[in-house]
Structure 1
């Protein structure tokens, strides 16, 4: 629940920035990918997750609100299922950036300990 509130708070801050910055995939489009274009959803979700993990490895993601730690043996399909389920269960925030929703849902599902 804390993550959801963080996503909403960050999203409200980003709403102003979104007016000036082009966001290619929001949560509504990503949810549609989950339902109708699973390969597109998979590519987007795994791409965002990879980018976040690489940024962390390079110490570029320090201070990120949405840090996640995948368990040993985690598969890409698990990430896709996790994010798609999160989008299904939280329609009230699907207007936010898809990348924010991917990292937020993964940090909730796979918190670092």
Structure 2
């Protein structure tokens, strides 16, 4: 089931990459790259911080939104995109041994752990 979720996340990343301006390049990034973009996005003094923050926010929430129908996790009513962002960033940060894995897989792992379906 997790493999199916990662495949769906990959397909979602392909779709969302086409919605960005400029040349569309489908890329599934590693957790370490996503975390670096998120950290740069949180630092207003970093070069391209607004772009990096948007990449972080959009990537994490795009994967999360695309996988809601798979029912791998159950977001509580009223959960915000900011909460999803924080949960995923914290999970990736707290699991440096897994940061080489594809970011969509880590996002799913974070949401399954934090918001299990009972």
Residue 91 of structure 1 corresponds to which residue in structure 2?
Answer: 96
Deviation at 1:99, TM superposition (A): 0.4
Tell me what 1:18 maps to. Answer: none
TM-score normalised to structure 1 length: 0.68
Can you give the 5+ residue segments of structure 2 that lack an aligned partner in the other structure? 4-25, 41-51
Q: Which has the higher contact order (CA 8 A, sep 6+)?
A: 1
**Equivalent of residue 82 in structure 2, options 77, 89, 93:** 77
Aligned residues: 84
Within 5 A, what are the aligned runs for 1:10-25? Answer: 24-25=28-29
Specify the alignment match of 1:33 in structure 2: 37
* Deviation, structure 1 residue 76: 0.3
| Superposition TM-score, scaled by structure 2 size | 0.65
The within-5 A match list for 1:45-60 is 45-54=60-69, 56=70
